[in-house]
């Protein structure tokens, strides 16, 4: 029996990057996977679609994969995503809130629509996705909510360079704090996971620093492996934590991180919030 056999995992932002890596990792352990993304048709600016991602995940795990086109900014999309997942797999055991928008401009240069996009996806989308899944998580054996968001730190150096983005990501982290305590009575875990270093994703390449940063990054597999170990833990005793990927793996006895480096000859760069 694989560790996630007969478990259903719903992952937002599962088309590429960290979301897809987590889907691939859990599929190998037997999980049913529902991935949510907006990209249904090929886009020259973006890698893959929800359907090509689903094909990769199926090949990796041989299990059942449900690709769901949806935009978590909209309530009707959230309700449809959850309903179709439950209809297909019979329930939800794990919710991974990975979908996120990023804009690291200073306050003078953030347009209202960019600010609203980050708030609508990162905070509002995470909140209402969690809300919609709670009734189903209450029925699960070892239910988890995992947000891809950073540890909370009120030092002003984490706010000054990109205030709007920090507000949105910290909003996701505050949801972890609230849900961990609110849902403790139902034995539903709520935790956050964040990478120690920059991860080679489309956002890093297209928004943060192009190939220069990619060469100083790790692959998304390190975050996926950390998520795997977190989601294995008993939900009633592992909640309200802000995990860092490398720390999680070290606690599991893993000390060789070289395989995760994009370019082992380059010095890794720490993430924006660490």
pLDDT, tens digit (0-9, with 9 covering 90-100), for 115-167:
999 999 999 999 999 999 999 999 999 999 999 999 999 999 999 999 999 99
Residues serving a catalytic function are 165
CA distance 184 to 271: 30
Could you tell me the pTM of the whole model?
Answer: 0.96
pLDDT digits (tens, 9 = 90+) for 12-58: 999 999 999 999 999 999 999 999 999 898 888 788 899 999 999 99
Describe the chain by its helix, strand, coil percentages, rounded to 5: 45, 15, 40
CA distance 193 to 84: 26
- CATH tag, 8-260: 3.40.50.720
Q: Where are the domains of the chain?
A: 8-260
């Amino acid at each position: 029996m694989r560790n996630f056999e007969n478990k259903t995992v719903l992952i937002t932002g599962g088309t590429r990057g960290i979301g897809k890596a987590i889907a691939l990792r859990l599929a190998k352990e037997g999980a049913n996977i529902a991935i949510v993304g907006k990209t249904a048709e090929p886009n020259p600016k973006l890698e893959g679609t929800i359907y090509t991602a689903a094909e990769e995940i199926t090949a990796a795990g041989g299990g059942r994969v449900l690709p769901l086109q949806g935009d978590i900014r909209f309530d009707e999309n959230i309700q449809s995503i959850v309903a179709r997942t439950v209809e297909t797999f019979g329930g939800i055991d794990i919710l991974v809130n990975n979908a996120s928008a990023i804009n690291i401009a200073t306050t003078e240069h953030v347009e209202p629509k960019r600010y609203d996009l980050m708030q609508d996806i990162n905070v509002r989308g995470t909140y209402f996705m969690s809300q919609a899944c709670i009734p189903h998580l209450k029925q699960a054996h070892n239910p988890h909510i995992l947000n891809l968001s950073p540890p909370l730190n009120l030092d002003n150096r984490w706010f000054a360079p990109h205030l709007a983005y920090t507000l949105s990501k910290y909003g996701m982290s505050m949801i972890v704090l609230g849900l961990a305590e609110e849902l403790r009575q139902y034995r539903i875990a709520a935790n956050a996971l964040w990478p120690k270093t920059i991860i080679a994703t489309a956002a890093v390449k297209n928004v943060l620093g192009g190939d220069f940063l990619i060469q100083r990054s790790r692959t998304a597999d390190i975050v996926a492996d950390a998520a795997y170990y977190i989601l294995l833990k008993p939900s009633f005793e592992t909640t309200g934590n802000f995990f860092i990927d490398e720390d999680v793996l070290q606690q599991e006895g893993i000390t060789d991180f070289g395989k995760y480096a994009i370019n082992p000859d380059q010095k890794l760069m720490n993430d924006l919030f660490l």
